[in-house]
Structures are given as C-alpha cells and as structure tokens.
Amino acid sequence: MQISPVIHISHLQKRFGKFQALHDVTFDVQPGEVFGFIGPNGAGKSTTIRTLLGLLRATSGTATIFGKDVFRNAVSIHKNIAYVPGDVYLWPNLTGGEIIDLFLKLSHQRHSKRTDSLIKAFGLDTSKKARTYSKGNRQKVALIAALSQTADLYIFDEPTSGLDPLNEQIFQDEVKALKADGKAILLSSHILSEVEQMCDRIGIIREGTIIETGTLAEMQHLTRTQMTVTTKTPLTDLTNQPGVHQLKQSDPTSATFAVDSDAMTVVTQYLAAHQLLTLKSTPPTLEDLFLRYYGKQTDQVTNSETGDGTDA
Ligand SMILES: Nc1ncnc2c1ncn2[C@@H]1O[C@H](COP(=O)(O)OP(=O)(O)O)[C@@H](O)[C@H]1O
Ligand SMILES: [Mg+2]
C-alpha cells in the first residue's frame, strides 16, 4: 500500500525578477517522518518553505501539501499545519503569554494544558513584554505556540539558531514525540548536528538545487570514521584490511586511517587482536558531506569511489 506524502515538491523553481533563487527543488515528506532540509545560508531553504506556505508563488514546478496545491489551497492547508519562521517577529507591547494565545487563536486553537507544559519546559517568562525578549525567547514564543497546536504537518525554519543546548534538547524531544505520533515534520537547518540527531531523511540544497536526498544511513556510508590508534603488537597488514583507507603509519604500532562504517566491526576486532592501547575515533558527520559539496577541501574527503546513486 502506498502512503501518500504529506509534502510533495517536484522541480520547483522560483525567480525574483532576474534572480533565480530556486532552480530545481524536488522532495517528499511522509507522515511520521522528520525531513531535514539542509543547506548553507542563501541556498533557498526559506524560499522553498515560503512557497510551501503559499506566501510566494512558484515560477514553475509543482508543490502540494495533503495532496492540494499549496498556492491555490493555502487557506484549507493552513488549518492543518503549524509553522515557525526563521525570523520571529512579535508585537513588542504584548507579553509573551498574550502572543502565544494570539498565535493559537489565529490558528483556531486554544491555550491548553500542553501549552502550559511547553511554557514550563522551555522556561519562558510569559509575563514579560516581547520587546524585552532576546532572540532565543522570541523563538521560544513561536515554538511553544506551534508545538502546542494540533496539526498533521509541522514546519520549522532554522528553529533553534537562538536556543541554548538545553532548550535545543527540549525542542528535539518534542519533535521526536510528534514523529512518534505520526506527524510529518520539515526542519530546515544549517546546523548539521541538529539534523543528525533528529532526521530520518535529509535533502541537501545548494544554490537553489537539491543535490542529494537520502536517509542518514545512506549518506553516512559516503563518509568514514577517522581513527588514530596505538597497539602493543605491530599492525603489519592493516593496509590489507577491507574498509581501511588513507592509512598513515609513523611506526608499526601506531596508525591513522579512515574506516567505512560497514567495516567497523571487523576493523575493531582486528585492532583488539593487536592489543589496542589507545584509540581516538571521530564519527562521520554531515560536516564531511558538506565539505564534499560546499568546501574548498573537497579533495580531502574521499569522493571518487563513493558513487552518486542516492538521488534519483
Ligand atoms: N523576496 C526576495 N527577493 C529577492 N531575492 C530574494 C528574496 N527572498 C530571498 N531571496 C534570495 O534568494 C536566495 C535564497 O534565500 P533564502 O531562501 O532565504 O535562503 P536560506 O533560507 O537557505 O538561507 C538568496 O540569495 C536571497 O537573497
Ligand atoms: Mg532561511
């Protein structure tokens, strides 16, 4: 049985006058899925999201939410989505609490027990006027209002850029709970660690074009764990171990190399058999992927053998 996607975007293009912000954006988001929309500043994340919200009209391509055209059916779609923009603007003379309730009212929802528990979890002082709030507090107001809404799709545009790690963790837990509840979540970010924590699949956007889409596992096989080890007995045949790359050995009992993730078990067993003394291991991060695409150091990150079969 085919589940229909919550978001379906196909070959979306958006021009602002002569400037083409989106060239080719294609991805789906399924129910019960956290989709990470990753790219550097200016790549087109917010433009894609504003198009999805019907705030901008696409130049060409299709975008649907719940199977409906995002521009023509914006009103009915909005009844069932919650959204937190990248830049949160609040009414300066209203208190945080008043604004949360206003946001809820605008979405035809009510202040609930859940709203109270979110306010408590994020530690927001709702009695203060919004003009006294820091960026992080403004974000909390928007997050609390969005998270306390009942919706089938939640869209967060760089939601945690002003939050401290503790509040970021609270946000992550909330998103996981929504996912467990079968909701669809679109989360844009240029913070890779945040996405690695939460997302089932990610799409990487660069200069208005999605250049890769896949599960984290699919992406991680493209990167390798970096290891530095010392052993008691000489590592004479480490170079012949499958999955070991870029081996550097200053002497027979110490080595630095990269390991394919699917070869980890075998390689660690090999190392243990040589009486491992010290081990430093740096796990693969999306940073590595980013370097491949955006960095000047692309040559350092292995890419020639990895193929490019993840994005159809
Ligand atoms: N209303 C607009 N008019 C002209 N250019 C715009 C407009 N909105 C965004 N852009 C441009 O489109 C590109 C993508 O912007 P944006 O979607 O905000 O990127 P991101 O959210 O990934 O940082 C940028 O070069 C930005 O300057
Ligand atoms: Mg943006």
52 and 12 belong to one structural domain: yes
Closest CA to 273 of 243, 239, 297, 238: 238
Give distance in angstroms: CA of 141 to centre of ligand 1.
25
Q: Which of 219, 239, 255 corresponds to the end of one domain? A: 219
Based on the domain organization, do 195 and 254 belong to the same domain?
no
In this predicted structure, the answer to whether residue 306 has a pLDDT above a threshold of 70 is no
Res. 300 pLDDT band, cuts 50 70 90: very low
pLDDT digits (tens, 9 = 90+) for 70-98: 999 999 999 999 999 988 899 999 999 99
Which atom number of ligand 1 is nearest to the Cα of residue 49?
A: 17
**215 & 239 share domain:** no
- Whether 64 is in the pocket of ligand 1, judged by its Cβ within 6 Å, is no
Question: Nearest ligand, CA of residue 205?
Answer: 1
Are the CB atoms for 145 and 159 separated by under 8 Å? no
Q: Six-digit token pair at 156?
A: 């967060």
Residue nearest atom 5 in ligand 1 by C-alpha distance: 16
C-alpha–C-alpha distance, residues 210 and 177, integer Å: 28
Nearest CA to 149 out of 182, 97, 106 is that of 106
Ligand 1 atom 27, closest CA: 42
- What is the domain range of residue 261? 224-283
H or E stretch covering 28: strand 19-29
Residues 78 and 23 in one domain: yes
Q: Do residue 17 and residue 131 come from a single domain?
A: yes
Q: Which residue has the tokens 């999805």?
A: 52
Q: Are residues 27 and 48 in the same domain?
A: yes
- pLDDT tens for 237-251 read 999 999 998 899 989
Long-range contacts of 304-311 (CB under 8 A, 24+ apart): 306/221, 306/222, 308/212, 310/212, 310/213, 310/214, 310/218, 310/219, 310/222, 311/210, 311/211, 311/212, 311/213, 311/214
Residue nearest to atom 16 of ligand 1 (CA): 44
Q: How far is the CA of 212 from the centre of ligand 1 (A)?
A: 20
Average pLDDT, the chain: 88
Query: Is the pLDDT reported for residue 303 higher than 50?
Result: no
Q: What is the pLDDT, as a whole number, of residue 193? A: 67
The answer to whether residue 31 scores a pLDDT higher than 90 is yes
CATH of the domain at 149: 3.40.50.300
Number of structural domains found in the chain: 2
> pTM for the complete prediction?
0.81
Residue nearest to atom 7 of ligand 1 (CA): 16
> Closest ligand 1 atom, CA of 158?
21
In this structure, the answer to whether residues 144 and 11 fall within a common structural domain is: yes
7-16 and 153-157 as β-strands: parallel, antiparallel, unpaired? Answer: unpaired
Same domain, 257 and 202: no
Domain co-membership, 207 together with 229: no
Q: Give 143 Cα–ligand 2 centroid separation in angstroms.
A: 16
Whether 26 contacts 9, CB under 8 Å = yes
Q: Where residue 241 sits, what CATH number does that domain have?
A: 3.30.70
Alpha-carbon dihedral of residues 54, 58, 64, 68, nearest 10 degrees? 60
Q: How far apart are CA 179 and CA 279, in angstroms?
A: 36
> Nearest-5° angle of CA 181, CA 185, CA 188?
155
Q: What is the sign of the dihedral through the CA atoms of 79, 76, 64 and 67?
A: positive
Asked if residue 38 and residue 15 are part of one domain, the reply reads yes
